[in-house]
């Protein structure tokens, strides 16, 4: 499920990036050189994206840990209710004890409902907060990547237009169907984006 959500999110981000890059092709001259970039790949393999995904995994594990405490408390009360229910089935149980057990049963039932409601609210609150946080961070990353694509295309290549080769149109077909004169900038841009990644920096120090 996590992988599906991540893939869906990146697909949406790539589609947004395609919309930003689309105006570049609006009045394309056939003689102009077309450059392509796989935005989904850039967004997925950018070291900051990987760091954010790792941070999200940690935070979701913390939510699960906090939720587990609530699950344990609810289970303990359910177990007590089962014992009380078994006790009430005993025909030899004294009437006073029966009334006391019934009252405990009602109390446990009310507590379990309250805990269940609190748990649902907790999961919704923490989940929504994390989703909003991730959406904001990923939006910033998307903007940075799009700006890097535009700057690199302008300053370091001779292409005139850039389109997203991973994007889909509203008809769910590839945005780029054919391009005879094309230059794929994806790998060059990945090197550019990841040049400050911890792994790349450590590798550079080794070779120096």
Give the per-residue pLDDT at 22.
45
Distance between CA atoms of residues 109 and 126, nearest Å: 26
Region 194-207: what's the mean pLDDT?
Answer: 67
* pTM of the entire predicted model: 0.71
Distance CA 2, CA 7 (A): 9
Q: What are the CA-CA distances from residue 128 to residues 16, 54, 57, 60, 122 (Å)?
A: 22, 18, 15, 11, 10
Sketch out the chain's domains with CATH numbers: 2-80+138-201 (3.30.910.20)
The predicted structure's pLDDT at residue 53: 96
Spatial strand order in the sheet of 182-184 = 161-164, 34-37, 182-184
The predicted-structure confidence for 10-57, as pLDDT tens digits, reads as follows 555 555 455 444 444 444 455 778 899 999 999 999 999 999 999 999
Model pLDDT for residues 76-132, shown as the tens digit of each residue: 999 999 999 999 998 888 999 999 999 999 999 999 999 999 999 999 999 999 999
First to last CA, the chain: 42
CA 200 to chain CA centroid, nearest Å: 24
Alpha carbon distance 79, 112 (integer Å): 11
The string of pLDDT tens digits covering residues 157-183 is: 888 888 888 887 777 777 776 777 788
């Amino acid at each position: 499920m996590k992988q599906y959500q991540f893939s869906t999110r990146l697909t949406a981000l790539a589609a947004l990036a395609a919309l930003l890059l689309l105006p570049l092709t609006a009045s394309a001259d056939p003689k102009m050189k077309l450059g392509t970039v796989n935005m989904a790949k850039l967004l997925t393999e950018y070291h900051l994206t990987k760091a954010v995904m790792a941070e999200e995994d940690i935070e979701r594990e913390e939510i699960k840990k906090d939720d587990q405490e609530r699950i344990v408390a609810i289970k303990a009360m359910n177990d007590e209710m089962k014992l009380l229910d078994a006790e009430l089935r005993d025909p030899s149980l004294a009437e006073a004890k029966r009334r006391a057990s019934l009252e405990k049963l009602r109390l446990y039932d009310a507590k379990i409902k309250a805990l269940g409601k609190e748990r649902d609210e907790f999961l919704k609150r923490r989940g929504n907060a994390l989703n909003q946080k991730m959406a904001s961070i990923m939006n910033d990353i998307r903007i940075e990547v799009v700006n890097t694509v535009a700057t690199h295309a302008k300053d370091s290549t001779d292409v005139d237009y850039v389109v997203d080769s991973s994007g889909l149109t509203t008809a769910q077909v590839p945005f780029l169907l054919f391009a005879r004169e094309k230059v794929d900038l994806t790998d060059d841009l990945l090197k550019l984006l990841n040049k400050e990644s911890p792994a790349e920096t450590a590798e550079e120090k080794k070779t120096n």
